[in-house]
Amino acid sequence: MPRKLSQEIIERIRREVLSGKSNYQVARELGISETTVRNHTKDIARPRIEGPYIRGKQLELLRQLLRDGYVYTSNNRNILRGLQKHFPMIRRAQFKNRSIYYLEDKKYLALQEMIKQNKSRVINYHDLSKLSKVFNITLSQDKKKEILNKSEDDDSLAYFCIRMHWMSSSSEGTLR
């Protein structure tokens, strides 16, 4: 059951909104939901800002995008789509049911983050190739090895077995 707010808190909510703060800002400062702020201030007439503007959650996501170069969508898909309308350099990529919005010039960072967030924690050359196509990045063989933390000596058990099988069959003169 929702808690009852004191009259003092309700008055503070109204004062903050009247001072020009957004519902989102007030809710965040007071640790309450934005819906609660809206319910206690819906009778307050506020001037409508004309034209495109960014504030509240949208502004916070834009700051994160500028700071990190990427943002995961989670529950913010519609807000991020709105940002895309204002800023065409914001791109969206999706791989294995995970979406990420990133700045055009930060696509390599976004690619690396997408690899880090891979749930299976196992990524092979084929997945890396598909992922690089999603971000429209061409990776050299050396770059792929660097991303996957592979060295010339580093081999998975599967590749080791395949190589051993190939070597034994080629020494007999035929491939099985």
pLDDT at 173: 47
Express each pLDDT in 84-134 by its tens digit.
888 889 998 888 788 889 998 898 888 888 877 765 556 677 778 888 888
The percentage of residues in the chain with a pLDDT greater than 90, rounded to a whole number, is 12
Q: Average pLDDT in the 39-67 region?
A: 80
Q: Average pLDDT in the 150-173 region?
A: 55
Q: In what order do the strands lie in the sheet with 90-95?
A: 70-72, 98-103, 90-95
Domain edges within the chain: 7-41, 57-139
CA distance 157 to 151: 14
Express each pLDDT in 123-148 by its tens digit.
677 778 888 888 888 888 787 777 76
Give yes or no for a contact between 53 and 62, defined as CB atoms under 8 angstroms apart: no
CA distance 19 to 21: 6
Give yes or no for a contact between 107 and 91, defined as CB atoms under 8 angstroms apart: yes
The residues near 145 (Cβ < 8 Å, ≥ 6 apart) are 151
Chain centroid offset of residue 10 CA: 35
* Consecutive H or E run containing 117: none
Q: Average pLDDT in the 66-74 region?
A: 87
CA-to-CA separations, 82 to 76, 78, 86, 138, in angstroms, rounded? 10, 6, 7, 29
Give yes or no for a contact between 94 and 134, defined as CB atoms under 8 angstroms apart: yes
- Comparing 33-37, 129-133, 157-161, which segment has the lowest mean pLDDT? 157-161
CATH top-level class of 57-139: mainly alpha
What pTM does this model have? 0.56
Looking at the DSSP bridge assignments, the partners of residue 101 are 71, 92
pLDDT at 174: 46
Q: Is the pLDDT of residue 45 over 80?
A: no
